[in-house]
Structure 1
Amino acid sequence: MSARSLTTRLIAIGGAAVLIGGLTACSSGDSGGSSGGKVEISYLIDNGPATAATAKPLIAAFEKANPDITVKLDTRPQGTDGDNLIKTQLSTGEMADVFNYNSGSLLQALNPDNTLVDLSDQSWAKDVDPQFTKVVSTSKGMYGAPFGTSFGGAIMYNKKVYEKLGLSVPTTWDEFIANSEKIKDAGDVAPIIQTYGDTWTSQLFVLADFANITAQQSDWASEYTDHKEPYTKDPAFAGFDHLAEVEDKGLLNQDYASATQANGLKMLAEGTGAQYPMLTNAISTIQQDNPSKVDDIGAFAIPAQDASDTRLTIWEPNGLYVPKTTTGDKLSAAKKFIAFANSSEGCGIQNDTGTPGGPYVISTCSLPSSVPPMIGDLQKYLDEEKASPALEFLSPIKGPNLEKICIQVGSGISSAAVGAKQYDQDVVQQAQQLGIKGW
């Protein structure tokens, strides 16, 4: 399938935008004016190796095209620790001049109207898919430019392990458990990989199950936002129940408590672990660290109890943002950098240094001619209209402690029921801070 047709199908599903890139960079309209002398700006990214692999050549190319601007690269932790650091730096006026961060509910928690620069007047903004614009905007402005591709939340799996054991892609949760038990019985291969050493990775069984919730109750997100639906009852409770079940049945890798995402992806690529609930943009790390194994990796949606409800959950790309503390020549330089990242050259660097986990969300950027076979697995759900957005793109409510709660449940320390109740309590303060009625 061509990159264009893939893009078209992904954009076609309501709310699930898809492609990033574009626009030739540094016009005066984007830069906000030229700087007189040498300007240094800072760029903050997460500490994932795949993120740095793209950021460094992007900076080098930008500095070559803009010799009067130097970009200093800084890193932050992933997960809750990174979220808290960004909030702290914004509140203390110490935020980098440009930073890469989530779109959707986590962005809304940064109070963007008061902390971020409105980028809606930039020339690349008109080329962004409206669904992405929606998740980086408020009624007062558009605060983010896309960076990276859209991606799914799914079970990434080793196709060679499946082939060796004669397994088929499961369409129900019971089939998934049956596959996992057959892998366990065969020995040597961990059926399900979990990596709680990187705490954020613990959330996938809950967050990537959301499309299955929508399939069963289409208005669940709005009811949840209105405080009328909790996680303590079905259909939402299933994610916590699954998290507890796979640990209780001994289906996890032995080092799940300390393993990191890098460890988990290595296990998956090498076939010492068979299945990994993960965001599919992680394929870029496998491309970087185990390029010969990329074709061995497939993906399927986290199965629902009933096959008719099994859907793929889609995430929008991250955004590039500028804090209001960036002013003058630094602001002009920051806008130039963002425009360059979304230019044809910037998009080409993204394609050359990473592996798409899905399509882009800007019309001026295209996927490379060759993409991992896993992208085709995701496409099937889109072709069959069995995909929908993650909750964070439909509701502003996401509690800060979900990953820690999931680790407790996924380690057998708390029951699924206790974890779900704790998360329902966890979101109350954020909903109240956002001024949402009913909380």
Structure 2
Amino acid sequence: MTIKLTGTTALATLLALPFGGAATAQELTLLSDSSADTVALMEALTDAYTEKHPEVTFSIETRPGGSEGDNVVKTRLATGEMADIFQYNSGALVQALRPGRTMLPINDIENFDAMLDSFTRTVSDAEGNVYGVPIEAAMGGGIFYHIPTYEELGLEVPLTWDQFMENNRTIAEQSDVVPIAQTYRDSWTSQLFVLGDFFNVLQQEPGFAEAYTANEAKYADTPAARQGFERLQEVAEADFFNDDFGAASYEDGLRMIATGEAAHYPVLTFAIGALNQAYPDRMDDIGFFAQPGNEADSNGLTVWMPAALYISRTTDHPEIARDFLNFAASEEACDINTRVNGAQGPYLVEGCTLPDDVPQPVADMLPYFQEEGRTAPALEYLSPVKGPTLEQLTVEVGTGIRDAQSAAELYDADVAKQAKQLGLPNW
């Protein structure tokens, strides 16, 4: 007898099928990055799902972050050894995985229409198939700062890059606090001064993303785009970093900004979850601001879409996996995220809300979303092109091995390879 299963009914039927007089136990594998906040969220979501469906359990595996983790995901997809469900970036990086070949679309899940279009278009293909469900809040790329240090030195939140540099000079001259924490042991963190500057790029070159995708603009010969590399070089040459920045980890950076060892730490706001877990009593000491640009009246935030959950095309449990992603796209899942990692920013599922009392860095971030014209998507959501070696190049600039112009030129060459692999026209 052949049984055809569809949608949520399929899951209920599947779990009710007899196996020795009881429902068949199903264990799914889930691959997550290894950060503490992500793992805690994956454990909480899978536990909540298993509570609803006791016959379904999950085995959670972890992978590194950054380019090393990218390679793990690409290799496991290419060899057919990917977990049933995996957590990964949205935007250009997921396009490089060729989702139409490696993942199952989820357009038919019940909660599909609850996901905001601003997210689903970053995890879709040219045919309109959508592959991912957001598991976190929208993020900003900017700079965490230590509020007590600012208060003690009489500093104001900078709206321009010149003001930011002057604050750093004051901190270096008048305190024992490190002006800027850098954590190159986790090389992905080295990219923020480049990637977080994209709002400022668009203020000067509104058409850059389109021209960049069409191979009509480059980082090296576009001053507004090259400026992110130059700003990284500037803060490095000013000797504003912690002495151990080459060996320091992301967790070290979080500790430094929470305890006041450092006055600034440039990183994505998903770090709010990890900060809230590790330093819940220090959250009122941590503020956040967008990476400043050239003009105070055009100050705004570069925004990242959250990571997503995807289903491997090789899974043996497609219906259960789809139902789990449907659960992840629910108000209940958002509430679980808030409970586990605290409020981190606006959610991208309709009906999801934030508590009235949010951590200080979230309170600092929300006005950018609430005021017209003060946010712009990161380049990887406007273009499918992102070179995989950026974090190695920014480490080299930050350590003084390479200057900004050379790094921009090498990044352009890296981008060209990626664009050709994607088959983009005019490359």
Q: TM-score range by the shorter chain?
A: over 0.9
Change in Cα spacing, 1:33 to 1:425, as seen in structure 2 (3 Å) is: farther
The answer to whether residue 63 in structure 2 is matched with residue 59 in structure 1 is no
Distance 1:196 1:32 in 2: 48
Structure 2 equivalent of residue 21 of structure 1: none
Structure 1 equivalent of residue 56 of structure 2: 69
Is 1:281–1:355's contact at 8 Å kept on the other side of the alignment?
Answer: no
Is 1:40–1:70's contact at 8 Å kept on the other side of the alignment?
Answer: yes
Secondary structure of the residue aligned to 1:423 is helix
**Which stretch of the first structure deviates more once superposed, 301-310 or 225-234?**
301-310
Secondary structure of the residue aligned to 1:325 is coil
Is 2:109–2:323's contact at 8 Å kept on the other side of the alignment?
Answer: no
Secondary structure of the residue aligned to 1:74 is strand
The answer to whether residue 272 in structure 2 is matched with residue 283 in structure 1 is yes
Larger Rg, first or second structure (1 or 2) = 2
Letter in 1 for 2:78: S
Letter in 2 for 1:277: P
Secondary structure of the residue aligned to 1:118 is coil
Is 1:98–1:323's contact at 8 Å kept on the other side of the alignment?
Answer: yes
Change in Cα spacing, 1:30 to 1:304, as seen in structure 2 (3 Å) is: farther
Structure 2 equivalent of residue 87 of structure 1: 74
Please give the residue correspondences for 1:2-151 in structure 2 after superposition, counting only pairs within 5 Å: 28=8, 31=11, 34-35=14-15, 36=17, 37-140=24-127, 141-151=129-139
**TM-score scaled by length of structure 1:** 0.91
Distance 2:13 2:409 in 1: 52
Please give the residue correspondences for 1:311-326 in structure 2 after superposition, counting only pairs within 5 Å: 311-326=300-315
**Which stretch of the first structure deviates more once superposed, 284-293 or 305-314?**
305-314
Please give the residue correspondences for 1:20-419 in structure 2 after superposition, counting only pairs within 5 Å: 28=8, 31=11, 34-35=14-15, 36=17, 37-140=24-127, 141-232=129-220, 233-327=222-316, 330-382=317-369, 383-419=371-407
Deviation (angstroms), 1:374: 1.8
Letter in 1 for 2:424: I
Letter in 2 for 1:397: V
Deviation (angstroms), 1:30: 7.5
Render the CA deviation track for 1:244-295: whole Å, top value 9, x for unaligned: 1111110011111011111001100001100011101101111101101111
Deviation (angstroms), 1:384: 4.6
Change in Cα spacing, 1:432 to 1:103, as seen in structure 2 (3 Å) is: same
Letter in 1 for 2:261: T
Secondary structure of the residue aligned to 2:14 is coil
Letter in 2 for 1:28: T
Distance 2:12 2:407 in 1: 49
Structure 2 stretches lacking a partner, 5+ long: 1-5, 18-23
Change in Cα spacing, 1:67 to 1:27, as seen in structure 2 (3 Å) is: farther
Question: Once the two structures are aligned, what percentage of the paired residues are identical?
Answer: 42
Choose which of 424, 427, 434 in structure 1 pairs with 2:415.
Answer: 427
**TM-score scaled by length of structure 2:** 0.94
**Which stretch of the first structure deviates more once superposed, 378-387 or 292-301?**
378-387
Render the CA deviation track for 1:81-103: whole Å, top value 9, x for unaligned: 01111010001000010011111
What is the aligned length? 412
Render the CA deviation track for 1:173-208: whole Å, top value 9, x for unaligned: 111111001101123210011110101000000001
RMSD of Structure 2 on Structure 1 (CA): 1.5
Secondary structure of the residue aligned to 1:236 is helix
Distance 1:346 1:234 in 2: 43
* Structure possessing the higher relative contact order (Cα contacts under 8 Å, 6 or more residues apart): 1
Distance 2:227 2:9 in 1: 49
Deviation (angstroms), 1:28: 1.7
